Structure 1
């Protein structure tokens, strides 16, 4: 209890709180990618802005690259039916399916909802909308056939209603059927009092709102889909559900209906034309429409057709449903310059002013999910490496039909642009085996290049030698495939599982689903040769193992032409061909570490041969037992033991604790946990219901130069963490550079650590004296080396705890218990450097994400929480599992299957939107910009328990001093006997393989070590002290024992490990 009071009572000083505010903050800044499930599109030709609405109620406005405004409806349950700009005003209307109409304004950097009007419940659902030319009245029709008017100044409904009964009364001699719902509304340009009302069943009426009378009537026996002006005020065109459109004259007398009907892809039955647009160009007429395909042959195609005069006709074919489209007029407004198509999964822009009508390179709204995203990494690269990547991407674009014209949507002003010191590159892995590189240095997500691994393998559907030409001049309709979204995958085994990217050299390792690892590097010369392949058998020492999964991918043996840019230098195929679970790369050493569910391998990519192949399968995995041992107890057994525990005396309980401690010493076999006593500061952790067959899965790998053999000379090492809480440490003997191609790399298993709580190890990091991650020399973004006397330390992050060990002794230094205190589990971690806005103060901290969507920042080395925020909804499992941290203090996660959300934790050097709209004075009253609000979802401050972090502060090296959750614990503290819990003693087994080859004297000493025990005694002040008897031996250079002595050490209840030599 005293420990609990001491931990919660400490408060930071006012100076420390000020430093925290300068170092840490959290806000959601940007969203990259394509909006999830778009439903509506709008275009402002005056301000040249585009708006997109999604099914979840999100509204986004885009202008020139870097101009983006976000808005969100208060309820995500409504669906937006229509978006309409008030031209030139920076205002937008959204009409929802709950009969609510919302007015949005762009004020400063924000898109704000300023007005809402909800119709009465007895009014039928809104089915069509239009704004008058002055932008003062919204006309909207309902499914009942009535048309209402909303005054946009007062945002109130006008009394005047155009009722269906009144319209039918005026034309009862011409039309006597029920025309159905209002399908289209169109204003007459020259007369604001007149509008065209189109009804679902083919009736068109020109209504005079001033006289309340019908002036013209047209009808056709086909369902109406769309209405547009051919010649404003003179000729009208209507599109129908049979794939035809009809021209109507507004002022001339009617001709026969048959002479006006046009079916572009007839005479066979066609699907409906959902939208049509006709404009007169400088020389030829433009006709643009969506749909209308022959129903039998091409009814499943998603198309937008463009007809320019009699000579040019192209049917743009997309792989997802067309939502809407609009055209952009040229500068002289006499012709069309661009066509913008919003599809369900991508945005496509066509350059109509260039020969051949090429597509634009989209500067935002990129289709990240062109093939489903399966993995992603963020890297900080130098300007030189970034320039090389861009050069490769530009050469890829030069071979495709990309327009050289500027992006046509260019409204708004970007303002001051945040520019980072180095470039941020996002690398995404995809289901089709490809990786794509994206520049995320600024507010706009820019595509750099793409590399596909499928040409390296054999298969009936795998592409070789680039993409086929989809254009066929003799085909009818004249299809042309556009867009990048591809919903199909050639083979599920191609899917990328893990990516590792060297931000110094650009080397990339791509791990796949079938155990393949493709290593690619940047090269300037073309290559036409076969790719080198090597096989690494992880289970070679397990004779009884049988693989029952999918087969491996067959690599091509014939030469493969690889152009300038990224080229595959080699392919490593693991056996068994299970999915890659983790990768680690060290380009200076020429080594790649690979992990699967069966074990780990280390590959020398210079000589292309295996260095390590360690199988981590248990005996149960090899036998194939279908009843793995479970840590969970039955309810009956737990209840029975609870009653037995109540009947035990205190002496019996202490004896039982002693026995359990004896069994746990130096043992690596699973120990059935004893139910812990109830304590005020920790909860009992339920047993994980994990399948024992996944215990050997490699969860993380790490390559670093550190001190593991001695404290004097650092050595290259490989670290591997498993799903069962085991950590394997290998020392590496790497030949010098002049002998690197002749001599082999030698790896030796040095030590093993078995965490007592056996939770999966999700990350391993070696930190230096400044508590920053030890990085490769010359690594971009790495901090300058610090000359400090404090040695390296190891940070082990499992799902339940964070532990710090000193190196090379592997003595426990401190730990942070998350699951025991809060019930959450850690999902992602990173060690980042935080710098104040003035650059005078900086600290290295550990950032971790939990399965509840919370992000915590912990100081190093004392592991005190500096900040805790809710960033992701706990229900968003996909978002939590996809989050990655960047070195500049930002994080990225998949907000949806097609969008990436960007979060900033630092107060300095992060990218944010600073765009604005410059509107003419007097156009509308612009309210004062509200105080800046945090965009982060549900940010909540928590009790802060920090202390100033100083790298030069000497760390406690005494075995009686430990840090748990940032609290220093001493065995001299008086702990009430009732608060003592055997469940708090975590003894991590550490095995040193380097001293395993001793003589017979060593064997006799080991037998004595097995009898080692914990003696728990009570002092006069009810103090609990544990004494450990340790035998210290001295050996000479030949391994003979010189002397030995018995040493008694005192340790507290949180003693974390025992060294077995």
Structure 2
């Protein structure tokens, strides 16, 4: 019977594990944001796809929204160059170890994985001095079956793409080319800088060497057609589409137009667009002529003395009008981060003439698409359409129509498919709000697997910061669309992009956000203790900034704040367009960063917490309801900020001296004889000193002993037990069995303060609402309280903001409260506050909780089956799922973050649907799912024509999952710009913590 009992228990455990698999499964779904450290870019004009390679070996391929592919190279090899092989539906990549890889993009809906087909390791070098294996340039022929590989020794090798990336025996040798050049021009041409196939003519390539030589070579007949001599170092070449002329750019900032059949071989028509003084090198140039005019686009070329720090792309447009001279228009796009590369995008016209449609510019921190068809240059932005957030969308569209082009997004290739129910569009719509270091707040539609930009709020307009920035903000910052007639500066710079490398004032940074989706009220908390309440208004208005001061620490407490000062309020009135408009502005003193922030629209209050205490504020009447300091006398020195956070330790000399003194002192206590000897020696020393005092010149001055300054290594959270960590509003039985509005406060020292509203029944007639402290609970283990939730018997979280008059007193009120600290989970009964159950995580496993929430999980096949569970992430990087209150049993565990990945752990957030986000890089969020139902396979592919050559996936050597994002067409899947600023974010139902690193919630 005993054995039978064990078998039964084992079978039950197996059944439980099998059941858990139907509810819980970890899967990475989609990657949001701009790729970190981009190195190269390519565009597939046939499939309309854009590829971006990064320094850590990540390849991102984007089409229309819903089409996104991802591939990660082993050993995180840097991707140097990318080519699309359109006829194969493949991508060719060169890595920094000179290995060449052919990757297959899925062409069937049943296969959504990028697969590696072939790899060529011939040029992977062991000797860095072997110039015959160092690749300096690549070029693809028009038929996409040959890859020209330029080498450092001047030779060119040919790679057969159709024959498993095998090298051909044919070699275009530099010696053969030099045989057809006169002796006086046979200088050392150097490495192959660029290779360009001549348009419309098969078998001829233009070879540009680093020094002195450009050759037009017929590789089919192994003969030279023409050669050109240059004095400057060559940077790049570009053919005009007619194939008869080409343009070269050089390291002195000049460019020259050549005819392929010209008889003279020297450079005679060079132009220095921003001379005559020395200029920076033009790194890349593009030339195109059509019925719409002539475009010359190049990167660099700025005067060294004045603009050597500028990162620019110049666009020179010449329009030849009938019966008039040519009209030249010059625009210099000024970027705030380094320009990596740029590419043109063409659109076909009725006469099969290619028309230049747009220009893609890839910078280190952002990607910008310039519309070249508009009468005035503008950056692309996609339309935002959503049913629930129409008012926000309309305000955002009004801004977009001024700043961005109305034309459709040109990167619109690929086909998006959906596998699994409820994965393309969520049943409920979600709003993502992000706060940034420069004081901006951005709204995004997170209802789908992609993010759509909606709206921006500039909080810096309320403060006296840089006036130039305020002027730009108020004028919508549309410098790019300015009229040419107003140009007074040369070169004519136009600011482009959204990335701002400098934050004028770090106090503007947004630290906390909370939003009520039902009433459209947004509350933000900043680094300098500022709290602003925004309400959505349909009409424009004028706002006069006037702050309400709340002093958490009494002046009588001899507290001196040594940190930063508050932000100065702007004195003049501000004209606000329709949208989110400020209604209340509160300044906390001392002006420490906001550490906790929650709004309760039911009782029209906002709670604000800092490292010194908290306040409860009635935003409808601008009244202070509660102001309480949580500081203790022992915390005052560490809470002052500034110099108070510095400790002093004794110098090594003094510490060593005192050690010897203690040693002598301990020995002297053992015998009286030693004491007498010491006294005699001391008497002799004193006698000697008295004699020396008569001759002060013989005495060397003794420097006073100083203590070396050492900054405390602890963080503010570990050092300050007074810091407020969590707020919570709910209707619960606190004083007796009758529910009443309650306000819960959790601190860093494990202290729980509970306030109740004592006159809620007559609140509508009362001039003020009185909140009274009902209970104060101290957790024995004194760990920081990071989560509080009222739950029912099934562990489901209850509605929080319910007025007591709406609660049915005849029905029994659930009397369980879940309180989680970084070390323990506890369930208490109310109102007597007795422990029902608890789990000591740190004591059992040595881990501490960093992020926690309750999620609802559905059975992956039966939607009628669901359960609530507790999700949390530990400092070790593993995510756990526990039962929410009954027994705290572990249901699921998965380790996916390194414990050294502090940014990823601190930025991770959960959603109430069992999903989550964490910071993969400074600009990318990885989205993942813990729900088996929401972990379905996302699919996207491209369509290959029947006449196109296909490559079998059977030869794939490495397969990874592709990431896609489903959304409306003509919308960009790429965020218009990366923002390096600190981000905080929330969902439509609650508040999420923020810090110096971005955070995300939906």
Secondary structure at the counterpart of residue 897 of structure 1: coil
Counterpart contact for 1:851–1:874, Cα < 8 Å: yes
Q: Tell me if the contact between 1:383 and 1:423 (Cα under 8 Å) persists in the aligned partners.
A: no
Between the aligned partners of 1:100 and 1:737, the Cα distance in structure 2 is 76
Judging changes above 3 Å, is the alpha-carbon distance between structure 1 residues 141 and 384 closer, same or farther for their aligned structure 2 residues?
closer
Contact preservation (8 Å) 1:171, 1:214: no
Deviation at 1:769, TM superposition (A): 3.2
Distance in structure 1 (CA, Å) of the matches to 2:404 and 2:808: 46
Partner of 2:872: 848
SS in 2 for 1:223: strand
Pick aligned residue for 1:815 from 838, 844, 866? 838
C-alpha contact (below 8 Å) 1:198/1:224 kept by paired residues: yes
Deviates more, 1:840-849 or 1:702-711: 702-711
Deviation at 1:626, TM superposition (A): 7.5
Equivalent residue, structure 2, for 1:163: 173
CA contact (8 A) 1:544 1:622 kept: no
Residue 993 of structure 1 corresponds to: none
Aligned counterpart in structure 1 of residue 921 of structure 2, from 856, 880, 896? 896
Partner of 1:520: 534
Which residue of the partner structure matches residue 700 of structure 1? 726
2:160 to 151, 163, 167: 151
**Is the partner of 1:394 in helix, strand or coil?**
helix
CA shift, 1:816, in A, is: 2.3
Q: How big is the shift at 1:557?
A: 3.7
**Shift in alpha-carbon separation, 1:826–1:423, aligned structure 2, 3 A:** same
For residue 117 of structure 1, what is the aligned residue in structure 2? 120
Cα pair distance change 1:469/1:189, threshold 3 Å: closer
Larger RCO: 1 or 2 (CA < 8 Å, sep 6+): 2
Aligned to 2:458: 452
- Please tell me whether residue 710 in structure 1 is matched to residue 736 in structure 2: yes
- Classify 1:567/1:244 alpha carbon distance in 2 versus 1 (closer, same or farther; 3 Å): same
Residue correspondence of structure 1 range 522-671 to structure 2 within 5 A: 522-540=536-554, 543-622=557-636
State the partner residue of 1:397: 400
What per-residue deviation string (whole Å, max 9, x for no partner) do you get for residues 886-926 of structure 1? 22221112211111111111233578642211112352134
**Contact 1:413–1:918 under 8 Å retained in 2:** yes
Distance 1:721 1:482 in 2: 45
Structure 1, unaligned stretches of length 5 or more? 365-381, 631-686, 938-1061
Mapping of residues 198-597 of structure 1, within 5 Å: 198-254=208-264, 257-258=267-268, 260-309=269-318, 310-332=327-349, 333-361=353-381, 385-398=388-401, 400-416=402-418, 418-461=424-467, 463=470, 465-467=474-476, 470=479, 471=482, 472-540=486-554, 543-597=557-611
Unaligned runs of 5+ in 2: 319-326, 639-643, 650-712, 964-1002
Using the TM superposition, give the Cα deviation of residue 252 of structure 1 relative to its aligned residue in structure 2, in angstroms.
3.3
Give the TM-score normalised by the residue count of structure 2. 0.80
Q: Is the 8 A contact 1:44 1:88 kept in 2?
A: no
| C-alpha deviation, 1:448, in angstroms | 0.4
The CA distance in 2 between the partners of 1:626 and 1:267, in whole Å, is 56
Aligned 8 A contact 2:112 2:961 in 1: no
Correspondence for 1:1005: none
From 732, 741, 766, the counterpart of 2:757: 732
Deviations 1:220-239 (A, max 9, x none): 11111111102443112111
Distance 1:316 1:383, change over 3 A: closer
Q: Deviations over 1:583-607 (max 9, x none)?
A: 1111111111111111111111122
Is the 8 Å Cα contact of residues 27 and 936 (structure 1) preserved in structure 2? no
1:882 maps to what in 2? 907
SS state at 1:297 partner: helix
Using a 3 Å threshold, how does the CA distance of structure 1 residues 436 and 263 change in structure 2: closer, same or farther?
Answer: same
Work out whether 1:24 is the aligned partner of 2:24: yes
Alignment of 1:765-914 (within 5 A): 765-776=789-800, 791-837=814-860, 838-861=862-885, 862-909=887-934, 913-914=938-939
TM-score by length of 1: 0.76
Check the 8 A contact 2:117/2:955 in 1, yes or no.
no
Q: 1:718 to 1:85 in 2, by over 3 A?
A: same
Q: How has the CA–CA distance of structure 1 residues 445 and 932 changed in structure 2, closer, same or farther, with 3 Å as cutoff? A: farther
CA distance, structure 1, for counterparts of residue 52 and residue 962 of structure 2: 22
Q: Which digits, 9 at most, give the CA deviation of each residue in 1:920-970, with x for residues without a partner?
A: 235213437999999699xxxxxxxxxxxxxxxxxxxxxxxxxxxxxxxxx
Separation in structure 2 between the aligned mates of residue 68 and residue 626 of structure 1, nearest angstrom: 48
Q: Is the Cα–Cα contact under 8 Å of residues 730 and 802 in structure 2 kept in the other structure?
A: no
Are 1:33 and 2:59 counterparts? no
Of stretches 169-178 and 688-697 in structure 1, the one that deviates more from structure 2 is 688-697
C-alpha separation in 2, matches of 1:788 and 1:38: 60
Question: Residues 395, 383 of structure 1: CA spacing in aligned structure 2 closer, same or farther, 3 A cutoff?
Answer: closer
Q: How many angstroms does 1:54 deviate by?
A: 0.7
Number of the residue aligned with 1:949: none
Alignment partner of 1:359: what SS? strand
Superposed displacement of residue 623, structure 1: 5.3
Matched residues in 2 for 1:936 and 1:132: separation? 29
Tell whether the 8 Å contact from 2:388 to 2:429 is kept in structure 1 after alignment.
Answer: no
Distance of 1:734 and 1:621 partners within structure 2? 35
Given that 1:26 and 1:936 are in contact with CA atoms closer than 8 Å, whether structure 2 keeps it comes out as: no
- Give the SS at the match of 1:75: helix
Change (3 A) 1:786 1:736: closer
Partner of 2:746: 721
Residues 833-884 of structure 1, C-alpha deviations (whole Å, 9 max, x = no match) = 1112331101011100111221111112221111111232322211211112
